[in-house]
Structure 1
Amino acid sequence: MESSGGKLGKFGRAGLNVASGAIPFVGGLLSAAAGYWSEAEQEHANNMLRQWIQMLEDELREKGKTIAEVMARLNMKDEEVSSRIESEEYQSILKKAFRNWSSIDSESKREKIRNILANAAATRLTSDDVVKLFIDWIDLYSDFHFEVIGEIYRKPGVTRGAIWRNLNKPAAREDSAEADLYKLLVRDLSMGGVIRQHRETDYYGNFVKKQTKSVPKGSGSRTMVSAFDNEEGYELTDLGKQFVHYAMTELTPRIAFSEFKSDEPIDTAAATQAGVPA
């Protein structure tokens, strides 16, 4: 019967063949520790390594699927598109999109990354620096943030209270955690340059200052502005509108493609040669 140490050695070598590009120090670690670990420790390391490699395989499979989905949406007969995706600038965007892939915590965010990559290849409505900022926003903001952005895009001038109701959120007290979270979310998007309260502009695009109304002393409200205020309307900034175009607008697939099978083994070396970032 093969010892657990032998199993560890075989599994470790197989695992290193898969993960060597991403975790080159593992081989040295196993070699250095082999003489000190007990059988139980070796078995524990075996299980951890198996889980680690499975995580890397799953991540690589998701990256490959996303690239396939992007390519299916592009007109590769268009010389401008072909030149764009082969450029160093676009490759830099691609690498940035996959660099923090493990932090993408929902399918909705993965779809937004795919949309950004596809739209960045097909259109040039903004600079690559702005596109990279949009990728940062995917990591920075939650799906709830994006739901609010979508609601303001659909209904410019909508109030915080209307957004909350339109998203079918339950009624909440002003001193509740839900109200605090909602105020924080709106503040995040406002300070991040994604949304703003509606402002009038002049002919040249300058924002016009609001006229303050004089209120007789003692006649004002005794309570603070509600987290679910129904007076002030919100709109997207131009940067916010561009984000919606890049991240929340989906290009129609031009070709059909087969999805990766969940049990299909991953050849990391081949995938790296094909251009999938590890």
Structure 2
Amino acid sequence: MNLPKRILYNDSLNIEIFSKMIGENWNISDEIFKNYILANISISMTKNSEMKKDINKLYDLDEINYYKAVKNSSCGNHVIITGGTLEQEIQGRKVLGLLLIAEQNYNLRNTMVNLLRKHYPIVFNAVKKHNKKELAIKYFQLDKITRKITGRLEAAVYFYFSIYRSVDAVDHGFIKSIINDLKSFEFYNPITRDISKELELHKSEIKEIKTLLKREYGKINSYKDILNINIKAITELSAILENFFIINKLDINLLFSESNYINIDDILLAYIKAGNTS
């Protein structure tokens, strides 16, 4: 993959223009890169009450235009935006509206940069000082799962600062890292893939496992068949699962009350993707 040899900060450069450069050099739709960056930044600004307060105050100044911007953008339906809670999605779409308008509005862009700087000072300093040491120390202190999510979100914030606040050439190594993460997320992560194609790919394995299950335990139609199966390990796990739902004020029976049929193929696909076989 080749990138433009030297991409320097200038007043006309924005995420859309940069995305087109990436698209031309990587032979992908520029929308993919742009939406990935904007979606991650949007969610990065939903993480605490202070962020939400700052965003809501700004959004309320021109909410109709920001709403229209999201409505007319494919990014509003990106899985990173829609994949969390409803509250997070609503808040993320507000941030997205601001970011979309800021692409063409210099004053709003400065405001967004300052907000990001306020809430992500370590990331900002890493860009300005060309030193990721403090950022690396922060990530080292996080658990693996939190580090993975935080790293993805903050990489987009880092990119935003690089485009709009760094007078030096954009860090090619870092951009390549983002593109590799994007490639993994957009083209290989099950959350963004067409599961029907995955099911077709593993069709023979799924069929073989289903045959073994039916022979051993009978036909499985609903989630109750799984939860009530007379196998100690599954019984123990189902009890833990049910208690987990109850602790979080959710009734598993109500959640699945209309699910008379369960897609066993999806469950077996998850089993296979974890590296298991019949």
Give TM-score scaled by structure 1 length.
Answer: 0.21
Q: Which has the higher contact order (CA 8 A, sep 6+)?
A: 1
Q: Between Structure 1 and Structure 2, which shows a larger proportion of helix residues?
A: 2
